[in-house]
Amino acid sequence: MIRLILNLLWFFFGGWLAGLLWLLGGALLALTVVGLPWTFAAWRIA
């Protein structure tokens, strides 16, 4: 029960923002050939 509450707090107070930034960063990396392998890593983190 405590774990659920803490996970919800993490999500509402910044987890969604961190995930969104990883997705956007991965999209920017996808624009270059060199950054393409890093794109998939960033999307796995998000």
What is the tens place of the pLDDT at every residue in 11-37?
Answer: 889 888 998 999 999 899 899 888 888
The amino acid at 32: T
Q: Computed from CA positions of residues 35, 17, 44, 6, in that sequence, does the dihedral angle turn out positive or negative?
A: positive
Query: Tokens representing 31?
Result: 């624009």
Query: Tokens representing 32?
Result: 């270059």
Q: Which of 1, 45, 3 is nearest to 24 (CA)?
A: 45
Q: What is the rounded distance in angstroms from the CA atom of residue 46 to the CA atom of residue 36?
A: 16
Q: What is the rounded distance in angstroms from the CA atom of residue 32 to the CA atom of residue 19?
A: 21
Q: For residue 2, what pLDDT is reported? A: 93
pLDDT at 6 over 80: yes
